[in-house]
Amino acid sequence: MPEKDKNHQEGPDIRSNLVKVNIDGDTIFVDSNQYKPQVEHAKKLLRQKRLPKNPKPQEWKAKDYSLDKIADYKPFNFVDGEGVRCSLYVSGCLFDCPGCYNLAAQNFNYGTPYTQELEDRIIEDLGQSYVQGLTLLGGEPFMNTKVCLKLIDRIRAEFGHEKDIWSWSGYTWDELQKETSDKLEMLSKIDILVDGRFLEAKKDLTLQFRGSSNQRIIDVQESLKENKVVIWKNLVR
Ligand code: SF4
């Protein structure tokens, strides 16, 4: 006859090897002999279960949040869009996507102020004949419209449409259509929008320039002309 365990059930105490772990407010039990792999696995599953934030139209206004700060500037790179590009990473994002590729840049106060000196340097870098254009990412470029519009307007004044402008956004195309005038102005002045939050459950590292399959590479000017989403013509995958 098996002994009764401390939970007054027959058989051995099946929880005797288990350790209680709290991961961001969720309680799980893991086998103490496999603590690390089980915690890592549980973290991954919990991340997949969580979703980014969904703002109401015009709920988040750039003027209420942006501190006009820059998380990073990377000239002459090949990874943030087509061709050789100069990338400006602005600070601050409220979408809070689990698995965000740039956690530090979610903070509006992260990094350094945007300066005229930096803007002049970006213009000089873009002036190189082998550079195709500027990429805006973050953080959330559409929550930093003051800085982004200043730079976009300068680029158009200096180069016209000879250099293209790409922007990433956690907002989808449809959401941006219902947004504030500064966001709409910025959208109307760029060439390519990579839209939508990063969704861990749809993560796919084989996609061009995006992290999850819900995100789209949108030809902004064609989409505005046709009043519907037109996907970038050079999309391979
Ligand atoms: S939208 Fe981009 S920057 Fe913002 S939380 Fe999501 S992945 Fe991070």
User: pLDDT tens, 146-168?
Assistant: 999 999 999 999 999 999 999 99
Q: Each residue of 12-59: pLDDT tens digit?
A: 555 568 888 888 777 888 888 888 898 888 887 777 678 999 999 999
In a domain, 237, yes or no: no
Pair of tokens at residue 156: 């158009």
Q: 201 and 150, same structural domain?
A: yes
**SS3 helix, strand, coil % of the chain, rounded to 5?**
35, 25, 45
State the DSSP code for 3. P
User: Is residue 218 in contact with ligand 1, taking CB distance under 6 Å?
Assistant: no
Q: Which residue's CA lies nearest to atom 1 of ligand 1?
A: 170
Q: What's the number of domains the chain is made of? A: 2
Q: 38 and 69, same structural domain?
A: no
Residue 196 Cα to ligand 1 middle (Å): 9
Q: 116 and 91, same structural domain?
A: yes
How many Å apart are CA 161 and CA 142, to the nearest integer? 21
pLDDT at 92: 98
In a domain, 114, yes or no: yes
Within 13 Å and on the Cβ side, how many CA atoms surround 222?
10
Q: 159 and 79, same structural domain?
A: yes
Predicted TM-score of the model (pTM):
0.83
In a domain, 44, yes or no: yes
Q: 67 and 44, same structural domain?
A: no
pLDDT at 13: 52
Our mutation pick for probing the ligand 1 site, out of 94, 110, 197, 216, counting the most ligand atoms within 8 A of Cβ, is 197
Instruction: List CB contacts of 183: < 8 A, sequence separation 6 or more.
Output: 62, 142, 145, 171, 176
pLDDT at 42: 84
Q: Each residue of 49-92: pLDDT tens digit?
A: 789 999 999 999 999 999 999 999 999 999 999 999 999 999 99
Please state, in angstroms and as integers, the Cα–Cα distance from residue 146 to each residue in 111, 213, 221, following that order. 17, 30, 21
pLDDT at 1: 47
User: Is residue 166 in contact with ligand 1, taking CB distance under 6 Å?
Assistant: no
> Does 225 have pLDDT greater than 80?
yes
Residue 30 Cα to ligand 1 middle (Å): 30
Whole-number mean pLDDT of the chain? 92
Give the rounded percent of residues in the chain with a pLDDT score beyond 70: 93
Residue 146's domain comprises 62-226
Q: 34 and 103, same structural domain?
A: no
Q: 182 and 108, same structural domain?
A: yes
Give the rounded percent of residues in the chain with a pLDDT score beyond 90: 77
User: Is residue 96 in contact with ligand 1, taking CB distance under 6 Å?
Assistant: yes
Task: Give CA torsion, residues 40, 42, 43, 46, to 10 deg.
Answer: 160
In terms of pLDDT, which residue wins out, 31 or 209? 209
pLDDT at 48: 67
How open is the CA angle 88-213-183, to the nearest 5 degrees?
A: 45
Pair of tokens at residue 56: 């109401």
Task: Give CA torsion, residues 96, 102, 107, 110, to 10 deg.
Answer: 180
Q: 70 and 177, same structural domain?
A: yes
User: Is residue 93 in contact with ligand 1, taking CB distance under 6 Å?
Assistant: yes
User: Is residue 97 in contact with ligand 1, taking CB distance under 6 Å?
Assistant: yes
Q: 197 and 106, same structural domain?
A: yes
Q: 66 and 44, same structural domain?
A: no
Task: Give CA torsion, residues 104, 105, 106, 107, to 10 deg.
Answer: 80
CATH of the domain at 81: 3.20.20.70
In terms of pLDDT, which residue wins out, 42 or 107? 107
Ligand 1 closest atom vs CA 96: 5
Q: Which residue's CA lies nearest to atom 3 of ligand 1?
A: 139
Q: Which of 147, 123, 124, 125 is nearest to 137 (CA)?
A: 147
Q: Which of 100, 76, 103, 73 is nearest to 89 (CA)?
A: 73
Region 114-143: mean pLDDT is 98
> Does 10 have pLDDT greater than 90?
no
